[in-house]
Amino acid sequence: MKRSFRVLGILALASGLAFSSCKKDIETSDLTLDLTKKATVTAYFYAETDNQTQGLEFAKEGTKVIVSIDNSEFNSSASGEWTDTATIAAGKITVEIPATSTGVTVNFYPAEFTAEQTQPYGSNVAKINKIFKLAGGTSLGGVKAGEVRTHQATYDAGVTFDNYAETVKISFIAKAIIDENTATQFITTGTIITISNSNWTTTATVSAGGRFDVNFPKGMPSKATFIIKKTLIAPDQPKDYKYEHSFVAYNATTPVNENIDFGGGVLWQ
């Protein structure tokens, strides 16, 4: 019986030591963060979405913004962060944040957005859809409890989508020697012309007066090709001839018709 009491006494001592150890761990790991003091911050967000008006435009309505403050601002031993989320309305957000008497740094991470950016007057296209980002976010330092502060930030320049290709519209009046019995003449109405380079191909149909239009990739040289039966001097029968013309790299749309001559072509049969 005495042996049993002794064993129980040892177990009780061990339990007491274990509890004491756990309590000590809890006390040493407990971090107090005083988030009761407040400040108010209004942040405005801008982006260059219209190149035909002065100044910047507001960021897209409804864009989300993550607001954060490092917990170490409230206790140097703390890790992690305090966070909140706000939505841009009329170009701004207004948030109430925890602060201290010495001041905290508030970080803003606005989401990216897409928008059609109005191009400068005279551009080949009126608008281009672009991605707007504020890489790395933006921050406002020294915000103290009780203050009302204002912050401003501007998105980076818009980035075009990788699959976007700007085009340049050019109109042509085309002639060629398609009859050896006559001089150079307009290319026959209805002729299909193929325009191409190493990265792109399209076709155009010749209308009355040898006219056809092409939307070229901006800044890329190309060539035009068509095959037609050429009338030869009697008694030869008409034969297929191939005609080619090389184009320079066009950089701007123009309303002026460009006259081109495909020459006499080469036998293609």
Q: How far is CA 74 from CA 22, 83, 245, in A?
A: 26, 14, 73
**pLDDT of the residue at 269:** 87
**pLDDT of the residue at 11:** 37
In angstroms, the CA 56 to CA 45 distance is: 10
In angstroms, the CA 140 to CA 93 distance is: 14
Which residues contact residue 136 at a Cβ distance below 8 angstroms, ignoring those fewer than 6 apart?
Answer: none
Mean pLDDT, contiguous 10-residue spans, the chain (269 residues):
38 40 39 91 98 97 98 94 97 98 98 97 93 97 98 97 94 97 94 96 98 96 97 92 96 94 96
**pLDDT of the residue at 127:** 96
Give me the domains of the chain, ranges plus CATH numbers.
38-160 (2.60.40.10), 167-267 (2.60.40)
State whether residue 23 is helix, strand or coil: helix
pTM: 0.76
**pLDDT of the residue at 30:** 54
In angstroms, the CA 147 to CA 155 distance is: 26
In angstroms, the CA 57 to CA 212 distance is: 40
Task: Burial-class residue 124 by CB neighbours within 10 Å (0-12, 13-18, 19+).
Answer: middle
Six token digits for residue 98 = 């925890």
**pLDDT of the residue at 20:** 40
**pLDDT of the residue at 28:** 38
Whether residue 59 contacts residue 108, with contact meaning beta carbons closer than 8 Å, is answered with no
**pLDDT of the residue at 3:** 40
In angstroms, the CA 158 to CA 59 distance is: 12
In angstroms, the CA 83 to CA 70 distance is: 9
